[in-house]
Structure 1
């Protein structure tokens, strides 16, 4: 930047230089920049006097700072004093603009890494407590300008002042995004309740900590469109959030230690008319979400993701099928059923109710399911319409319950021909003719050296046509539908 632009920028007006610097910012999902001496906004502010003047007179360059990576061992050597100095720098230079702040501070010498099940004593690291209080005070100094706040700390009690600031006047009139995460799960603690009526302008809330719930007053979060509750220890607490957010579009919940709750028979169904993305997972054997799922009705659903991690013991787990029957979504495009105790019959019934699926992720698959998805049965001519006629991606976590022959037949009968020697007109003609079910573009199977599917001649022919066959270790790579759909969307 200093080489090419610096030699020719003398005649450019300051306003144009400001726009150039703004376009050099590398921001994350909430508009934050990770401070670096090799990138904007710090780098151009050190080049020359004029560039520095322009940078300091452009507060939009300093409206988002990500201090999360700075506290991770091995990435940057930033001490606690420097962390406060960087935060001060962005707060000061952003002037009166709205500001987004993301920081992670879990540097407790005796805590080690990873999640904590028990908190250390109050005297275990007085330096940490002193520093986190100083960080909180810096944040509170600009709370009237918060646009996005993403905080990761050891314990929820350390961010109590932030939650009180959101709940009390003068509150944070510009706050749209709030994320609270703790290293301590707090699974043995109580649910915390806050009067969040002044935070009704929030659009995104993510709570990855002991559960926080709003008070049961009449105030609703009309603008709230995305809600994430991880390590959620109460299904009733989750319902309290849903009752406050009638316009939710995305709901992601991971239940952990949420067993023992019961709902009255007369508990009403929650109809979320705008919800398009539902993701529910369970991280403990006592967190069967059946009772919670049975209270949902989602007519606008487009993506449905379940991951029970094989922790739910049930002979009849039909809550997903009942949800689809109750909701009748017209545009369900992505479905993931991982680690659920669902029967083969229920899975097939779900697929029959989802004719517009383009993405399907199954924890396990049988020959009967593959045959129902195939455009032709083995050793037989073309059959009737297969299930999921628009399917583009099939992802399978476990192939032990299906034969290689059924998997090969499915891929061969549904593979889309994208080879160079097939013209666009021929592809269109094939799509309307006998080969109209050839829609499959990606097949994802587990990484298993004993399962040599890729070496099968028919699969090799599919790969030559353009089928992408991917292997992955599902223990470390579980991809929710939306992320996979984004990855597969052409630029």
Structure 2
């Protein structure tokens, strides 16, 4: 029997045998989030029988024109047939899925919508859209004339992503009474019922006073949000006027993720305005991605104005280039983070092509953590007394600083990525395994000149993701190098 290997959205499925039907069913349920069930059903007769026996497999509707399956009229016809069959098999159950017509709208620009073969299938899906509990919408639906004249009530919809404003025309998404999670790239959120939102993600924030005001109004309506994600893409606009509005209290917000790709104060002033109006008194987790030192200063002011620094338990800062301004601001901020349990600082790239000597020195940060408050030597009086997890990426940190850190507190995890070889060697040599320290992760920049003394009986874990080696491979490599240095080279 032939077992073809169809592909859908870069998913490659090969025939396997020897597993019971219930295990296959679990696998198919997992795959159904990435590919339609008919893709598994055409592999062999047994798989087809399993797929047809479970209506739950057919509940994920994926409408996308970004794959090679839609390369000609016959392929489009077959694709539409399968989508309609999937709707039939899903019966009256709750659905979830994606409707992405971005490329379809571009490819058939100027073609009357009535002549598009896929439009009939799309209209049927839209007629059942009130059954969806999770929905991702993209592309211009107006070009295909898809929206009904009477907006549906999304009585099951809890998770919604919208990345084109056309889906808000005619109030199509107006009735979402139980919506909890919402992701957008700046479309008019005021058109949605935001009272029950617990998760809000906004990307590509626009640089305009009107949009900023609308965004703040949406935040004001979404006062039950517990997680807020904001992503700002670099803008060339000269700036915006400050809107005359009151601040927004997000009293239930516990987690915030901020990403500022390519932003700096000279590009735009939307960021300080936006953060300047938001108050998050109970914020506990803050993730900051790709921020310059100036941006980090804005975030610092936001934390102080929200008076949430004593509540913060998690602070993760990851940027393209870490500099001394980041280090200074964080060192000044740490004494106010009384509840901090997890700290991560690092950069994804070093500041130059040179290796270790060009990595940013973060000893100032670690030294602050080693200092007792007001000269006290007690454990309860040290800076960030609850700190348990620390991770430093693409930085230079000395043995002295890390050594003192291990002596002043008992962390559960310390990760140092791209640390200097001297630090690695000294840490391993002078600090035997501590049962409290469950994971001391060290990734060296090079193992060619010097290696870290390592014994397999030690309990510390060694992560080697950057070098592409497994932990066992690296342990064997280091053990062999140590044996070589002692004249006891192990056989290959």
**What TM-score range do you get, normalising by the shorter chain?**
0.5 to 0.7
Sort the Cα spacing of 1:300 and 1:391 in 2 relative to 1 into closer, same or farther, 3 A: same
Provide Cα deviations, 1:211-234, integer angstroms capped at 9, x if missing partner: 201347xx7422111111111214
Structure 1 residue aligned with 2:132: 146
Normalised TM-score (structure 1): 0.64
**Which whole-Å CA distance do the structure 2 matches of 1:366 and 1:62 have between them?**
52
User: By how many angstroms is 1:147 displaced?
Assistant: 1.5
User: By how many angstroms is 1:162 displaced?
Assistant: 9.4
**Which whole-Å CA distance do the structure 2 matches of 1:73 and 1:405 have between them?**
57
Match of residue 364, structure 2, among 363, 368, 371? 368
Contact 1:393–1:441 (8 Å) recurs in 2: yes
**Which whole-Å CA distance do the structure 1 matches of 2:63 and 2:46 have between them?**
19
Contact 1:324–1:353 (8 Å) recurs in 2: no
Structure 1 residue aligned with 2:452: none
User: By how many angstroms is 1:2 displaced?
Assistant: 7.8
Please list, as runs of the form range in 1=range in 2, the aligned pairs for 1:255-266 lying within 5 A after superposition: 255-257=232-234, 260-264=239-243
Unaligned runs of 5+ in 2: 1-15, 347-359, 446-464, 467-492
Provide Cα deviations, 1:368-396, integer angstroms capped at 9, x if missing partner: 2111223789xxx9887432223233233
Structure 2 residue aligned with 1:335: 315
Contact 2:151–2:174 (8 Å) recurs in 1: no
Sort the Cα spacing of 1:241 and 1:452 in 2 relative to 1 into closer, same or farther, 3 A: farther
**Which whole-Å CA distance do the structure 1 matches of 2:17 and 2:213 have between them?**
57
Contact 1:321–1:350 (8 Å) recurs in 2: no
Please list, as runs of the form range in 1=range in 2, the aligned pairs for 1:91-490 lying within 5 A after superposition: 91-102=87-98, 123=109, 130=116, 133=119, 136-152=122-138, 156-158=139-141, 168-181=150-163, 195=171, 196-207=173-184, 209=185, 211-215=186-190, 220-234=193-207, 235-257=212-234, 260-264=239-243, 267-285=245-263, 286-288=267-269, 289-310=271-292, 313=294, 317-328=297-308, 331-339=311-319, 344=327, 346-363=329-346, 366-374=362-370, 385-400=381-396, 402-410=397-405, 412-413=406-407, 437-445=409-417, 447=418, 453-458=423-428, 461=431, 466-471=438-443
Sort the Cα spacing of 1:271 and 1:140 in 2 relative to 1 into closer, same or farther, 3 A: same
Please list, as runs of the form range in 1=range in 2, the aligned pairs for 1:71-86 lying within 5 A after superposition: 71=66, 79-86=75-82
Contact 1:213–1:240 (8 Å) recurs in 2: no
User: By how many angstroms is 1:247 displaced?
Assistant: 0.7
Sort the Cα spacing of 1:38 and 1:267 in 2 relative to 1 into closer, same or farther, 3 A: closer
Higher radius of gyration, 1 or 2 = 2
Normalised TM-score (structure 2): 0.64
Sort the Cα spacing of 1:330 and 1:41 in 2 relative to 1 into closer, same or farther, 3 A: farther
Structure 1 residue aligned with 2:489: none
Provide Cα deviations, 1:111-154, integer angstroms capped at 9, x if missing partner: xxxxxxxx979759999x947745632431311212111245xx
User: By how many angstroms is 1:99 displaced?
Assistant: 0.5
Provide Cα deviations, 1:425-458, integer angstroms capped at 9, x if missing partner: xxxxxxxxxxxx202413142x47x656433344
User: By how many angstroms is 1:279 displaced?
Assistant: 1.0
Sort the Cα spacing of 1:251 and 1:168 in 2 relative to 1 into closer, same or farther, 3 A: farther
Higher RCO by CA contacts (8 Å cutoff, separation 6 or greater)? 1
User: By how many angstroms is 1:82 displaced?
Assistant: 4.1
Greater share of residues in helix: 2
**Which whole-Å CA distance do the structure 2 matches of 1:248 and 1:32 have between them?**
26
